[in-house]
Amino acid sequence: MADPGHVPDLLAENERLRAALAEAARPLERPLERPFGEGGGVLVDPRLRAVLDIETVGAIVFDMAGRVREANDTFLAMSGYSRQDLTHGLLTAATLVPPEWQATSRRVIADLQAQGRSNSTEREYLRRDGSRFWALCAATRLEDGTGFEFIIDITGRRQAEEALRCSEARYRTLFAAIDAGFCVIALRFAEDGRAEDYRFLEVNPAFARHTGLEGAAGRWMRDIAPGHEQHWYDLYGRVARTGEPIRFIQPAHALGERWYEVHAFRVDAPEAHHVAVLFNDVTAQRRLEEALRGLNETLERQVAARTAERDRIWQVSRDMLGVADADGVWRSVNPAWTATLGWRPDEVVGRSSAWLEHPDDHDRTREEIRRLGSGEPTLSFENRFRTRDGGYRTLSWRAVPFEGNLYCVARDVTEQRERAQRLVQAEEALRQSQKMEAVGQLTGGVAHDFNNLLTIIRSSVDFLRRPDLPEARKARYLDAVSDTVDRAAKLTGQLLAFARRQALAPEVFDVVARLQGVADMLDTVTGARIRVVTEGPGWPCFVRADLSQFETALINMAVNARDAMEGEGTLTLRIACGAQKPEIRGHAAARGPFAAISLTDTGIGMTPAVIDKIFEPFFTTKEVGKGTGLGLSQVFGFAKQSGGDVDVTSRVGQGSTFILYLPEVPAPDEPGRPVPAEEGLAPARAGQRVLLVEDNVGVGRFAAQILNDLGYVATWVTHAEAALDVLGQDAAYDAVFSDVVMPGMGGIELGKIVRQRHPGLPVLLTSGYSHVLAQEGSHGFPLLHKPYSAEQLSQQLASAIGPRRAPGSSA
């Protein structure tokens, strides 16, 4: 609220300015003898001279079109213009008067023309810099028809009035809105100087709610409540006399046995004896305090009893109890520390536990203490403390921060952890034993399968050596050898996929279309008595994975379902696009989107024990020699390498469902059609040279022979370092054909160096297995998988070399 003492000063100044302006604005008897700006100029009319002596009075002469013809220095200082601006005619009604005051300016000119003078007005003027100031103005018409106006800058007064108005508005708003009772009283004193009554000058709306007194404004307190306590009058009288504010809580029996919290302070002049009172009815609070006081007395008795019980627990507890500060320094510990660790309480109190912690647990323990200091409780935390005899005990902690301290309890779990460790070791030993048994099964199965394949190859080769073998039979035996090699490669591929060591060749494809394609050929795998049903969306769903491995995974799951249904039942293949991957075998869930490909059979189902091992290496429920246990392992390895996972649900007698999750990817920008691979051999052009790098002597000789038979000039070296030496001496080669896995420098590293030293020289890699390829890929080099055929080698080389010309050919 604005200081009321300033109001008389503002009013007096306002009246003084108006009186001076009214006197100066009386009609002039004749115009000025010389302009304002000339030194020593004297105004004939002494009233004008008196006005111009006032520093805050400006004066201008203007015509009826609003153009200023003359102005005194005071007005020029007010408006920020110079006398040169005046001479150039820059002072006009358009430049001096804001748009919203133009109508007032025109009305003043109209009054001058009609009656020779205008009433005083308050309006805004524009300064040269565009800012504004308030002015009190009055004008009169001179004998020559021009206007003469006096201007007094009242900006300061207007701002003070506005501040006073805003302050008064805020005061009234707060006075009405405040929830506490508020009143202004005027005290009446007796002849002995004691306050004997007070009258309410103002009360706010909350006054009646807090006191129950309606219509109190203007009335005396003894008229409203005759029995009001004398000490209230004495308190208010002291405030009025001394001017010192007071606060107190007192009962008011005359107002219905109520209690009030009061803040009283003097307002206005001391002789007015006006006091402002702000108060709250705290009767409910006082009653609650009294009830709480009685309850506290009861609780104190109960706390005393529980404290004695707590002390007994502190002494006899077998758990280690302790109180530490926020830095982990122990303030007190119970006797269980001695029983568990051997240290006396006085050896622990006053120190942190850092000297007791196992070195491997120190950082974790410090971090846990810092976390506790932030207010977060410890639900379970384990570390090891040193005992007096030099050993260590494993402790399981729980701690709660409270009022700056840490309240801790620790239980010795050394024996439990040792038993658990022994159990884990026993389980691991059993697991290894089971794995060794599975390896035995795998050995039998793989040996059986490979011996069958080798039998076909050996027999076919024996027949091919016969000189009189007919061409038809020769072609049949050659096809048998080729098909057998493919089957052997597929068997090793399953082994590598299970181990997640196979180098995948990912590509983007529509999994909906591929699932339908695999389903169409499953009849040959499952047999005629198993009905295959497919369910999927009517739109594409794209993933990025190895297409061959994807189809192999589906076939492996279908074969597993066929065996579970014993050759008869229904196999349902479904696809859900945009799925979320749930938590699987302890691995966190993922929001996706994922393509979820599920195969559901109506077979015998599986027990939980079998489900736990279904994807383990070499695990199979089939008889020895009837399965290697790698089918579902291949599915698991493929899913993990592709960024997904595989899940299984099953109940005995109710079938099983396998769900393969693969991450979805956006559709290709331009899917296009696949270009069919060329068939047949692609012989070399004349003079093309290939540097062969192969450490295996047998494979190296055979690969060199194939290259020579294809028409290439082959140079064979057995390691990468030798290849770099050859290229350093003679770089005129058309391609480098290198194995990936070699002693010393591998094929990928060799390819990177060749790419750096001999840009444009193609590098073709080959491998049957490489953990580097499986983990990192081929780094952009074309890759030929072992075992490979002469046809595959010729096509890959021709594609890698492309249009590169033979050495020495003309451009």
DSSP string, 765-785: EEES--HHHHHH--TT--EEE
- Amino acid 395: pLDDT: 93
Identity of the amino acid at 695? D
- Amino acid 421: pLDDT: 86
Say whether both 726 and 627 belong to one domain.
no
Provide the mean pLDDT of the chain.
Answer: 80
Say whether both 479 and 544 belong to one domain.
yes
Read off the pLDDT of each residue in 646-659 and give the average, rounded to a whole number.
90
Q: How far apart are CA 544 and CA 663, in angstroms?
A: 7
Residue 537 has pLDDT above 90, yes or no: no
Residue 623 has pLDDT above 70, yes or no: no
- Amino acid 134: pLDDT: 92
Three-state SS annotation for 415-448: HHHHHHHHHHHHHHHHHHHHHHHHHHHHHHHHHH
Structural domain count, the chain: 5
Structure confidence by residue, pLDDT tens digits, 98-131? 999 999 999 999 999 999 898 888 899 999 999 9
Read off the pLDDT of each residue in 16-28 and give the average, rounded to a whole number.
53
Greater confidence, 299 or 806?
Answer: 299
Band of pLDDT at residue 494, cut at 50, 70 and 90:
low
Strand partners, 659: 598, 647
Residue 765 has pLDDT above 80, yes or no: yes
Structural contact between residues 580 and 591, judged by C-beta atoms closer than 8 angstroms: yes
Residue 345 has pLDDT above 90, yes or no: yes
Lowest mean pLDDT among 208-217, 480-489, 784-793: 480-489
User: Domain end: 254, 281, 308, which one?
Assistant: 281
Query: C-alpha distances in angstroms, 54 versus 47, 51, 149?
Result: 12, 6, 15
Say whether both 694 and 774 belong to one domain.
yes
Say whether both 408 and 431 belong to one domain.
no
378 found inside a domain: yes
Read off the pLDDT of each residue in 335-349 and give the average, rounded to a whole number.
93
Structure confidence by residue, pLDDT tens digits, 420-430? 888 888 777 76
- Amino acid 625: pLDDT: 45
Residue 12 has pLDDT above 60, yes or no: no
713 found inside a domain: yes
- Amino acid 668: pLDDT: 81
List Cβ neighbours of 700 (8 Å cut-off, separation of 6 or more): 692, 694, 716, 718
Query: C-alpha distances in angstroms, 313 versus 168, 321, 379, 403, 418?
Result: 67, 10, 21, 22, 28
Say whether both 29 and 72 belong to one domain.
yes
The percentage of residues in the chain with a pLDDT greater than 90, rounded to a whole number, is 25
Band of pLDDT at residue 628, cut at 50, 70 and 90:
low
Say whether both 111 and 235 belong to one domain.
no
Say whether both 395 and 433 belong to one domain.
no
Greater confidence, 351 or 309?
Answer: 351
User: Domain end: 651, 674, 697, which one?
Assistant: 674
Q: 721 exposed, middle or buried (CB, 10 Å; 0-12, 13-18, 19+)?
A: middle
Structural contact between residues 723 and 747, judged by C-beta atoms closer than 8 angstroms: no
Structure confidence by residue, pLDDT tens digits, 32-91? 444 444 433 333 355 555 555 556 688 899 999 989 998 888 899 999 999 999 999 999
Band of pLDDT at residue 179, cut at 50, 70 and 90:
confident
Say whether both 530 and 589 belong to one domain.
yes
Read off the pLDDT of each residue in 710-733 and give the average, rounded to a whole number.
90
Structure confidence by residue, pLDDT tens digits, 126-162? 999 999 999 989 899 988 889 989 898 888 888 878 7
Say whether both 145 and 109 belong to one domain.
yes
Structural contact between residues 203 and 215, judged by C-beta atoms closer than 8 angstroms: no
Chain centroid to Cα 38, Å, comes to: 75
- Amino acid 773: pLDDT: 55
Band of pLDDT at residue 724, cut at 50, 70 and 90:
very high
Say whether both 521 and 657 belong to one domain.
yes
Greater confidence, 497 or 509?
Answer: 509
Structural contact between residues 664 and 683, judged by C-beta atoms closer than 8 angstroms: no
The two structure tokens encoding residue 316: 């006899």
Query: C-alpha distances in angstroms, 385 versus 322, 421, 701?
Result: 14, 19, 66
- Amino acid 108: pLDDT: 92
User: Domain end: 226, 253, 281, which one?
Assistant: 281
Residue 354 has pLDDT above 50, yes or no: yes
Structural contact between residues 81 and 91, judged by C-beta atoms closer than 8 angstroms: yes
32 found inside a domain: yes
55 found inside a domain: yes
CATH number at residue 523: 3.30.565.10
CATH number at residue 786: 3.40.50.2300
Say whether both 669 and 696 belong to one domain.
no
Closest CA to 409 of 398, 394, 395: 398
76 found inside a domain: yes
309 found inside a domain: no
Range of the domain at 702: 689-801
- Amino acid 32: pLDDT: 43
The two structure tokens encoding residue 709: 């038979």
Q: Is 802 left (phi over 0), alpha (psi -120 to 50) or beta?
A: left
Chain centroid to Cα 589, Å, comes to: 19
CATH number at residue 16: 3.30.450.20
1 found inside a domain: no
301 found inside a domain: no
Band of pLDDT at residue 504, cut at 50, 70 and 90:
low
Say whether both 518 and 443 belong to one domain.
yes
The two structure tokens encoding residue 444: 């039998």
